[in-house]
Structure 1
Amino acid sequence: MSGCPVEATLSVIGGKWKIVILWRLARGTMRFNELQRAISPITRKMLTEQLRELESDNLIVRTVYPVVPPKVEYSLSEYGKTFIPVMQSMAQWGLVHLERNA
Structure 2
Amino acid sequence: MSRNAGCPAELTLELLAGRWKPLVVYWLLKGERRFNQLQRDLGGVTHRTLSKTLKEMEADGLVARRDHGEIPPRVDYRLTGLGRSLEPVLTAMHDWALAHPRADRAARRA
Could you state the TM-score of these two structures normalised by the residue count of structure 1? 0.91
Counting only pairs closer than 5 Å after superposition, residues 81-100 of structure 1 correspond to structure 2 as 81-98=84-101
Identity of aligned residues (%): 36
Aligned match of 1:56: 59
Give the deviation of 1:100 after TM superposition: 7.8
Structure 2 gaps, min length 5: 105-110
> Would you say 1:20 and 2:23 are equivalent positions?
yes
In the aligned structure 2, how far is the partner of 1:55 from the partner of 1:65?
17
Aligned match of 1:80: 83
Aligned match of 1:2: 4
Could you state the TM-score of these two structures normalised by the residue count of structure 2? 0.85
Give the deviation of 1:56 after TM superposition: 0.3
Larger Rg: 2
Work out the number of aligned pairs and report it.
102
Give the deviation of 1:99 after TM superposition: 7.2
Q: Give the secondary structure class of the aligned counterpart of 2:65.
A: strand
Q: Which contiguous aligned blocks of 4+ residues in structure 1 show a shift greater than 3 angstroms?
A: none
Aligned match of 1:37: 40
Which AA in structure 2 matches 1:2? N
In the aligned structure 1, how far is the partner of 2:78 from the partner of 2:64?
5
* Backbone CA RMSD of aligned residues: 1.8
Aligned match of 2:68: 65
Give the deviation of 1:78 after TM superposition: 1.1
